[in-house]
Structure 1
Amino acid sequence: MDQAEVLLIGGRAGVGKTTVGWEVSARLRAETVAHCVIEGDFMGQAHPAPEGDPRRRKIAERNLTALWSNYAELGYRRLIYTNTVSVLAENEGMFRRAMGANVRIVRVVLTASDATARERLTGRELGSELEQEVEGSARKARILEERMTPDTVRVGTDGRSVVDIAREVVNATGWLADASG
């Protein structure tokens, strides 16, 4: 396979993107499907550069381009990329510039209720930013709902196991000949 492919896993804070991304990777590893994983939230962490600052987007794209170049040079063609809003159409250009104009993009948005997101964030955010994360999570959920493309696969996470969620996400990619089992 020569065409690059990227699985974008998006969703509000507390929905389980990172956890599901790693479980998708475990499932692919078990089937010996070559791939790499990038946690997109780390690609633009530069301060001071508040959310929405064009420098964050620019550094994220430069970092993605550099990492993908290294992976592609070693023969990798599939990428799992987790980031809240990565699935939005406005971010497609970054992936096409970094991975090639013909990259096949699979968009999956994970969903969770406000209560589930708060519960998960409460367990994760042990510092001073819990309320900020909860508010931001609800805001991003609204943005995703309003602006995600029609081809985005929605996967609910409330009350489901990570293994079950990852199975559904892998199925959306078509990367396994038989991902139903």
Structure 2
Amino acid sequence: MTAYELLLIGGGAGVGKTTVAWEVSALLQGKGTAHCLIEGDYMDQIHPAPDDDPRRTAITEQNIAAVWSNYAALGQHCLIYTNTVSVLEEPMIARAMGGGDIRATCVLLTAEEASVRQRLAQREIGSQLSAHIERSLRMARHLDEEAPPGTIRFPTDDRSVQDIAVHVLQAAAW
């Protein structure tokens, strides 16, 4: 049976999940390490949600399974997956990868409220800035309380993306 590596990067909006994941990917490319990256925010973008899947968990799992099966068919063994709640969804993501021998590393990126507000204000130009900030702060509290044992936390305030990515990669031991 094939062994797989799974790096889950989670955290509230504005902590740098996607940016850090892309930097981790760049570091891995520089080392010649085969891997793939799935941005989980795009795995459940459907409206309205299916009647039998109001939280969109089933469609998320199906979409991850479909994308992963394509990567696995190309011989990939290492998956970086980013999503706000990814560290809470390890069992579902492992199922989507076909189960079996999967070594997962859960990373929770964090940031102080002032940093989140500043970062989201820079990128959110629509009418939902206040609601987006409040959701992010609420989710950060939830993730802090519910993250599974062994989750590695990295604050992102006043740190370079490169520094954070190096530490994330060291934590995953890839």
TM-score of the two chains, using structure 2 as the length reference: 0.94
Q: Which position in structure 2 is the counterpart of 1:73? A: 73
Q: Which position in structure 2 is the counterpart of 1:94? A: 92
SS of 1:4's partner is strand
Q: Which runs of 5+ in 1 are unaligned?
A: 176-181
**Structure 1 CA distance, aligned partners of 2:138 and 2:59?**
24
Q: Which position in structure 2 is the counterpart of 1:136? A: 135
**Structure 2 CA distance, aligned partners of 1:7 and 1:144?**
17
Residue by residue, what CA displacement relative to the aligned partner does 1:26-66 show, whole Å, maximum 9, x if unpaired?
Answer: 0000000000000001100001239xx64511111100000
**Structure 1 CA distance, aligned partners of 2:49 and 2:126?**
21
Q: Which position in structure 1 is the counterpart of 2:151? A: 152
**Structure 2 CA distance, aligned partners of 1:71 and 1:114?**
37
SS of 1:87's partner is helix
**Structure 1 CA distance, aligned partners of 2:55 and 2:15?**
26
**Structure 2 CA distance, aligned partners of 1:112 and 1:79?**
24
CA RMSD of aligned residues (A): 1.5
Q: Which position in structure 2 is the counterpart of 1:63? A: 63
Letter of the 2:56 counterpart: R
The answer to whether the 8 Å contact 1:96/1:103 transfers is yes
In the TM superposition, 1:1-181 aligns within 5 A as 2-49=2-49, 54=54, 56-88=56-88, 91-99=89-97, 100-175=99-174
SS of 2:15's partner is coil
The answer to whether the 8 Å contact 2:3/2:100 transfers is no
SS of 1:155's partner is strand
TM-score of the two chains, using structure 1 as the length reference: 0.91
Q: Which position in structure 2 is the counterpart of 1:179? A: none
Shift >6 Å, 4+ stretches: none
Amino-acid identity (%):
58
**Structure 2 CA distance, aligned partners of 1:120 and 1:92?**
27
Deviation at 1:136, TM superposition (A): 0.3
The answer to whether the 8 Å contact 1:96/1:102 transfers is no
**Structure 1 CA distance, aligned partners of 2:87 and 2:112?**
19
**Structure 2 CA distance, aligned partners of 1:59 and 1:26?**
29
